[in-house]
Chains A and B, each alone.
Chain A
C-alpha cells in the first residue's frame, strides 16, 4: 500500500469504525500506523500470519488473560498496561522468565482513535519495561453497543529455569506465608473512577510486572513452594485456592496484613473488605519457615516489595480453612468470595 494514496489516521478526532476490522485497507492502515510501530520487534516485523520464534532453551510456560476493565483508564494504569502486566505476572508466578506476548483486540465501533493510541502506547511501554515482545496480534471490530470500548486478550510465553518447580499444591504445614506489599490498591483505584461512584482519593493502581521481584525471591529462597498474584477475589480467594490445592489450612494475623490507610478508608465507607479486592502488582509467596527471613529481605530489597510482610503460616486442616486472628483477639474465617462483591446497605 502506497502511503501517497492514504490519508493518515486521525488520532485526534477519528473514531474506530467497522472497516478497521474488516480485513481491508483501513485495517492494514491501523496496523501499519499504530500497532506495528508501537510494538516494533523482529518477530512482529516478519509480517506473516504467525510469528516464528527461536528455540526457547528450556521448559515453556504459557498463560492467557482477557481484559475487560471499565473504566479503560484509571490512576496508575490503563487496560493496555494491565493487559501486559496481567499475563507477564501469570508467567512470572511459575518462576518463568517472560519472553513473548500475543495480543487480540476487540474494539467497539466508535472508540476514539486517540484512546486506542494511548492504550497501545501504554501497552508497548509496559512490554518494553517487562522485556517481552508482542510478536503477533489480531484486531476485530464489533458494532457499537456490543463491546465496552476495547477488550484485550493476551497470551504469554516464558521460559522456566532448569530445576525450578513452583506449584499451588506444594504448601506444607509449617510454611510461611508472605505478601509483597499493600493489598487492594488496584481494585479501589478502579472503583474510585467508576461512573456511579467517583470519589476523590489518592489511591493508585499497583499494576506492575512482577517477574524481577519473583526472580529475586526464587534466588533468595531455594525451597520456595509457590507464588501467586492475588488478582480478582484478592488475597482471601487466592489463599483459599492454594489451601484447597495443597490440602492444608492457613492461619493469618490480621495486624500483619499490609493495607494502605487510603484503601482501608475507602473500603470502610463502601462496606468492602480489602482482602477481597483485586491487586495487579502484588504476589503471595509460600516458603519453608526457615527461609522466610531471607525471602522477606529479598522482597523488601526490591522496589516493588518494600512493604512486604510475613502474614501467617500454613497449618494442617482437613477443612482447608483460612483463619484470621483479628486485632481484636477473636478469630474468623477468611472465606472464598461469593458472587460479586456488593456493598452492604445500612
Chain B
C-alpha cells in the first residue's frame, strides 16, 4: 500500500532503533509521554517498546477521545437516546463507553433507544433530512481532529434550516490538557512529549510552543505510523541530550506551523471555548473543551433538551484516572484483565483500542507472563 508501507518498513525500523540505542546516555532516564491514543495503538500494535532501550520509557497520555469522556456526559447521551423522538448518532467506539450502573449506549440500544453508529457527521445530517419527524442528535466527541466535521455539520444544518438536527458537543482540546498534566502538583515525571498527530494537522504546531517553553519540555509532533513514532523518539532523545526544549515536527508531511487555516476559522465560527470541562481522570480542566457557539444555539442539544450536567465518580477500583495522568500503567490496576476486560470494560481506558488498558490487553499482556 503506497504511502503506508513506507512507514512500516522493518529494516528501516531496525536501523532507527539502533540509532536510538547509540544516542541514549546510560543511566539517564527518558520518560516520554505519547499524548495520543493513535500513538498508543501503534506502539502496542507494532511492539515498539521491545525495540527501545530500557531507559526509554513510553508513558501513555490522555489522548484517547472516548477514554477522557466523563461518565456524566455518557449518562446524558443515554438519557437523550432513550427519548422516543430522538435518534442519537455517534462514532463507533463511543457506543461501548461505560456509564453509570454499567450502562452504555449499547445497553440503551437494547432497551429500545435509537442509537446509530455513523462514520461521518454527514451521515447524521442525512438521517435528519430523511426523518423530519424525529430529533436527530449528533453526539460529537473527539479532540481538535474531529472538530472541523462538526463545524461543517452545524454550518450545513443552519444553511438548510434543518430544524430537527442538533449537536451534543463534547469536543476537547489538547494543549490545555498537556498544560494541566504538567502543572499538576503530583505530576508524573516527564522528559518530553510525543505530540499529537492528526490534531496538529488542524491546529498546527504553534499552540504547543507556550507549553514547551513554560514547562521546559521538548515536544515532537509525530505521525501515527510506527516509523513516525520511532523517529520522534530519536528526535526527543537528541533534544533531551542537548538540553533543548523546542517544539519540533516529525510529521512534516501533514503538519505546518499554523495548521489548517480554513478549518480553524470554521471551528472558531461555530464552536466556542468552555470555561471548564470535566475530563475523565483529569477532573475539571479550565478552557479545555468546546461548546456549540451561541450564534448556533438553535442547534445546541444541551440547550434544546435542557440537559443538566451531573458529575459521576469513577468506579473505586478503576485506575483509569491515574493511568490517563501517566502515573500508573495498566498492570498497576487491580481489576485489569480480571473484572475489567474489553468485553466488560469497567473503565474507559479498556474501551477503545487506543486506550492504554485495551491496547495493553489486546497486544501486550503476553509480556507480563514472560516476566512473571
Residues of A bordering B, CB below 8 Å:
196-197, 261, 264-265, 268, 270, 319, 321, 323, 326-333, 335, 338-339, 342-346
Contacts and interface: CB of A to CB of B under 8 A. Distances in A.
B83 to A, nearest CB: 20
B343 A326 contact: no
Interface of B: 1, 4, 8-10, 13-14, 17, 36-38, 41, 44-51, 65-66, 91-96, 116-119, 123, 141-143, 145-146, 198-199, 226, 341-343, 352-354, 361-366, 369
B357 to A, nearest CB: 12
Contacts, number: 107
Tell me if A's interface is mostly helix, strand, loop or mixed: loop
A335 B65 contact: no
B167 to A, nearest CB: 16
A265 B365 CA distance: 28
A345 B94 contact: yes
Contacts of B369: 319, 321
Given A326-B47, A327-B10, A338-B342, A346 B366 contact: no
A328 B6 CA distance: 12
A338 B66 CA distance: 17
Contacts of A261: 1
Contacts of A197: 119
Contact of B146 (A268, A270, A323, A345): A345
Given A326-B47, A329-B14, A343 B93 contact: yes
Nearest to B141: A345
Contacts of B48: 328, 330
Nearest to B43: A330
B366 A321 contact: yes
Ranked nearest first, the 7 interchain pairs of A and B with the lowest CB-CB distance are: A330-B47, A342-B92, A338-B342, A332-B363, A328-B46, A343-B92, A338-B343
B146 A343 contact: no
Given A328-B8, A328-B13, A332-B46, A342 B119 contact: no
Given A328-B226, A345-B92, A333 B364 contact: yes
Nearest to B38: A346
Nearest to B123: A196
B119 A344 contact: no
Nearest to A342: B92
Contact of B119 (A196, A327, A328, A329): A196
Given A319-B369, A328-B10, A344 B145 contact: no
